[in-house]
A and B are shown apart, each in its own frame.
Chain A
Amino acid sequence: MVKITGIEFRNPTILASGIMGTTGASLVRMTNSGAGAVVTKSIGPEPKIGHPNPSMVKLDCGFLNAMGLPNPSYADFVNEIKIAKEGADVPVIASIFGGNAEEFVRVAEGLADAKPDAFELNVSCPHAEGYGATIGTDSCMVEAITAAVCDAVDVPVWVKLTPNVTDIKSIGKAAENGGAAAVVAINTLRGMAIDINSGYPILGNRFGGLSGSAVKPVAIKCVYDLYEALDIPVIGVGGVSSWEDAVEMIMAGASAVQIGSAVHEGVEVFADIATGIEQFLQNNGYAGVEDITGLAHEVI
């Protein structure tokens, strides 16, 4: 059992936003696969069809994606969260986005009826004009939006950060100052792939975000830095596909880990990683995840 921002999780693995989070039923399936909590896809104020395909490509080093925040709007998605809450025996966290504080608040209030256990603010999507990282690279906007949502809801607010900034600590600090209960680091790194036969960028949006094992060292460093700079918990995400990756992320400072692209290898990844972490803790005489959270800061 892990407790973060007042919410209890049966294990420290969480389904990352944008993965298998389109419907209530798919979220429930992920909880049945062992996830300790699930985050929905990012939901916005209006229905959005996203970018044209190709929208996700597996490369040798990871995955490139540019979905473009496709979503049915909060008005439509309330019912999916209700289905997830009814069918899941773990916390359900609503990921939301907007173009400004007013839109974020409208979406959060609109979804509040479905009683998500927390909100995760997407200020980090790297390829949606006017949304995501456009906002998340501006610490003033991050603080203002976080404060506005915190005022509007009575559950914890997490803020998912972009690594596409000069200093992620300053953005993390802005989220903390705004009242965030936790930060989630990191979203994808800006990337691009080009088809050399035709010269066409492969993604329909031309560029997108890199995830998977290639970004893990970047995520580890961001989590390490944020753990040092902030007083609120850090939830690590980026390239975690094994229990060893998860333990490494936790030792960098993460209180829990989110898992995204690794679902490609099989939905049982959550149970595998949770079991592996538990075994590691037992084998090494640790009482819980908190015993190794940030360990890398203490040993030197």
Chain B
Amino acid sequence: MRPINSKITQIVEETPSIRTFRFDTSLDDAQPGQFVMVWVRGVDEVPMGCSFKNGITVQKVGDATSRLFEMKEGDSVGLRGPFGKGFTLPAKDENILIIAGGVGVAPLGPLADEAASVGAKVTTILGARNASELVFEKRFSEAGGITVTTDDGSAGTCGFVTTVLAEMDVSEYDRICVCGPEIMMFNVLKMLEEKGAHDRAEFSLHRYFKCAIGVCGACCMDHEGLRVCKDGPVLNGSLLLDSEFGNYKRSSSSQRVKV
């Protein structure tokens, strides 16, 4: 598909470094965890998890996102998608644990909305560096129970999402859905493996995407050759044990780099 010309209708400053951009394009068939390719014309095209059917929530990290942060309401970008496989859709009366770190909230926000709307029970562990970096706290609270953690203790529990997870009985959850920095997700996976719950966990991964449609292989993971852009970006924890996850990834020239 060609990029859909999409006008920015609203910009919400979530934190000093994270903004939500809403568009006049709504990808109504987007499932929680799927992503769009955002074409910042003349700069680059980058993958972004859909935080709304018509929106993305972005941290300023590189050339494309920096240019995006210079844009105003009324400016436009190109959108392609939704692509990839998202989280398993929650069913009524299921018990879902959401673990979100930093801008990892982006694909998990719509999952919480969807889960609550179908009558699933939602519990969220929401982590950030400090109180000012918390995103979607109200949104997750409206979907169910929430525990906040901050690295510096400026809000909620002082520590990491794993600090809270370590004290939890995860056996009561039908599924555990995770997104955040890879090291955080890796530590969560290890903890869930110890608790025997890794095969009930789903992780939304980040890798360098080139084609984004499952052809070129730039985002393939060792050792199964899974394409993060098409077989993921959401992958079951059992597929990630004994993989490159948490250890290394590939750069834009496909060289291995440490996570």
Contacts and interface: CB of A to CB of B under 8 A. Distances in A.
Interface of A: 18-23, 25-30, 41, 47-50, 52-59, 63, 65, 67, 70-73, 76, 193, 195, 197-198, 200, 202, 204, 260-261, 263-264
Interface string B202-227: 00000001111111111011111101
A57 B76 CA distance: 19
Contact of A56 (B2, B39, B78, B212): B212
Contact of A54 (B45, B215, B221, B223): B45
Given A22-B217, A26-B220, A65 B255 contact: no
B45 A53 contact: yes
B222 A55 contact: no
B250 A23 contact: yes
Given A23-B225, A47-B255, A261-B215, A67 B210 contact: yes
- Residue among A21, A63, A70, A193 having the largest count of chain B Cβ atoms under 10 Å: A70
Nearest to A63: B215
A50 B253 contact: yes
A41 B220 CA distance: 13
Contacts of B220: 20, 22-23, 25-26, 29
B215 A19 contact: yes
Contact of B224 (A25, A30, A49, A70): A25
B213 A54 contact: no
B46 interface: yes
Contacts of A197: 5, 76, 78
A19 B78 CA distance: 25
User: How would you classify the secondary structure of chain B's contact residues: helix, strand, loop or mixed?
Assistant: loop
B44 interface: yes
User: How would you classify the secondary structure of chain A's contact residues: helix, strand, loop or mixed?
Assistant: loop
Given A50-B253, A195-B3, A20 B215 contact: yes
Contact of B225 (A28, A58, A200, A260): A28
Contacts of A200: 41-42
A70 B254 CA distance: 7
Nearest to B77: A198
26 contacts: A18-B216, A19-B215, A20-B216, A22-B217, A25-B220, A25-B224, A48-B253, A49-B251, A53-B37, A53-B46, A53-B210, A56-B211, A57-B1, A57-B2, A58-B1, A58-B213, A70-B210, A70-B253, A70-B254, A71-B254, A193-B2, A195-B78, A198-B5, A200-B42, A202-B2, A260-B215
A77 B32 CA distance: 36
A41 B254 CA distance: 11
Given A23-B222, A25-B224, A264 B43 contact: no
Contact of A22 (B1, B42, B216, B223): B216
B238 to A, nearest CB: 17
Nearest to A211: B215
